[in-house]
Amino acid sequence: MPFEEKFHLRIPGPTPVPPRVQHAMNRPMIGHRSAECSRLVRQCSQRLQPVFGTRENVLIITGSGTSALEAAVSNTVAPGEEVVVAVTGAFGDRFAKIAGRFGAQVHRLDIPWGEACSPDALKSFLASRPRVKAVFLTHCETSTGVLNPVQDLATIIKEHTDALVIVDGVSSVGGVACEMDAWGIDIFVTGSQKALMLPPGLAFVAVSPRAWGVIRQTEGPRFYLDLQTYHEDLERETTPFTPGIAHLFGLEAVLDMIEEEGLENIFARHRLMMEMTRAGVRALGLPLLTEDAVASPTVTAVRGTENIDASALQKELRRIGAVVASGQQHLKGKIFRIGHMGYCDPLDVLTLLSALETALHRLGGTVRWGAAVGAAEEVWNRV
């Protein structure tokens, strides 16, 4: 390719940062205890509420998404307490590992990767575990492209236990309809570098009143990720530790963009990009990892074929200038993953599909030129 540094970043996070957001991040630095920083913290937290579907404060942590996952565990679960983790992929697995590290008695409900956790499966699993303190769910499982039916799962949990419902929304919040309060989610976390279009470096945690009750009763060694400290400081319009201020500058621009496009339009755009991607991949005869009914609007996993493996496709795409992600853990080499979230539009999807046609051809596949692009265009333009 002529330009080494020119590429299309289509991994499921980090995602491209809009120029307008980069520009905002270049504002001259300010003090973290200034009135301007207080305004930023207050307004960013408030304006994130509709994105989470909550009227609760959205706490802002400086860290990777995993820092928020850990906060959700360490603030709610004491050693020896029982938790259930629905593991549908690498990030459910991470929740289980963190809970184990913090001494919880972890009951893993392992679902084959590529499938969603069904309400029935969870219901049966919870039947013999009534004393569980928290159930951990993954909304979009980034490692497989599955969107778990969090609303229905939360209903099951509330009906059969007193457990907190704790949800990883890292690759869903901002790209998929999220109704934390209406669905009965108690703790909902996300990161900055997915549908929220920022560089990695901030994490967000929203907490229900019921969860605060549990958190106040849960002793444990925590300081940097002590959610009560963030909550108390947010009431005073500040953060306990110096926050990622450049990211806050950028977040303000992101929230402007979200409000201008409108959440419903954003969610429709993500569903459209998912459908275009799936139609295009199918038109090339490549198998999708997930069923349509549980497919995530933000990320699509594609399997290799008997003759052409997923890693080879990923590498060939990289040569052409399109960057997709590999599979994780036991899916490594078996799938590649296309991110279509955040600062991504239908034309970006067509570009990726066009590159996929060429990559497949160069690896010896039979390709009718324009097949993937055409199928996606048809989806885009159907009435």
Neighbours of 96 (CB within 10 A): 23
307: alpha, beta or left, given left = phi > 0 and alpha = psi -120 to 50? alpha
E strand or H helix at 326: strand 325-326
d(CA 191, CA 103): 25
Closest to 134 in 3D by CA, of 64, 204, 53, 218: 218
User: Is 20 within any annotated ligand binding site?
Assistant: no
> Which of 20, 30, 179, 374 forms a contact with its own copies (CB under 8 A)?
30
Query: Which residues neighbour 306 within 8 Å (Cβ) at sequence distance 6 or greater?
Result: none
User: Between residue 345 and residue 364, which ones bind its own copies under the rule CB under 8 A?
Assistant: none
> Which of 11, 177, 257, 363 forms a contact with its own copies (CB under 8 A)?
11
Q: What are phi and psi of 203, to 5 degrees?
A: -135, 155
3-state SS, residue 15: coil
Tokens 């009143």, residue?
209
Window of 48-56, 238-246, 284-292, 356-364 that interacts with its own copies by CB under 8 A: 238-246
| Residue 259 CA to its chain's centroid (Å) | 20
3-state SS, residue 164: strand
Helices 35-52 and 245-261 cross at an angle (nearest 10°) of: 40
> Which of 80, 112, 209, 221 forms a contact with its own copies (CB under 8 A)?
221
CB of 82 to its own copies, least distance (A): 17
User: Between residue 67 and residue 86, which ones bind its own copies under the rule CB under 8 A?
Assistant: 67, 70, 74, 79
Which residue number, 67 or 161, has a Cβ lying nearer to its own copies? 67
Window of 116-124, 145-153, 239-247, 309-317 that interacts with its own copies by CB under 8 A: 239-247
d(CA 134, CA 132): 6
For residue 109, the cross-strand partners are: 86
> Which of 149, 174, 175, 243 forms a contact with its own copies (CB under 8 A)?
243
Tokens 């499982």, residue?
141
Contact 375, 286 (CB under 8 A): no
Which residue number, 98 or 279, has a Cβ lying nearer to its own copies? 98
Q: Please report whether residue 34 would count as binding its own copies according to CB under 8 A.
A: yes
Encoded one letter per residue, x for contact with its own copies by CB under 8 A and - for no contact, window 299-338 reads ------------------------x-xx------------
CB of 101 to its own copies, least distance (A): 5
Which residue number, 2 or 28, has a Cβ lying nearer to its own copies? 28
Closest to 88 in 3D by CA, of 60, 111, 59, 56: 111
Q: Please report whether residue 340 would count as binding its own copies according to CB under 8 A.
A: no
Which residue number, 31 or 364, has a Cβ lying nearer to its own copies? 31
Window of 25-33, 172-180, 269-277, 354-362 that interacts with its own copies by CB under 8 A: 25-33
Which residue number, 126 or 299, has a Cβ lying nearer to its own copies? 299
CB of 280 to its own copies, least distance (A): 22
Contact 234, 59 (CB under 8 A): yes
d(CA 6, CA 139): 32
3-state SS, residue 11: coil
Which residue number, 240 or 333, has a Cβ lying nearer to its own copies? 240
CB of 127 to its own copies, least distance (A): 30
Q: Which residues carry a binding-site annotation?
A: 337
By the criterion CB under 8 A, which residues form the site for its own copies?
5, 7, 9, 11, 13-17, 22, 25-26, 28-34, 62-67, 70, 74, 79, 97-98, 101-103, 191, 193, 199-201, 220-225, 240-247, 323, 325-326
Residue ranges at the known binding site for substrate: 337
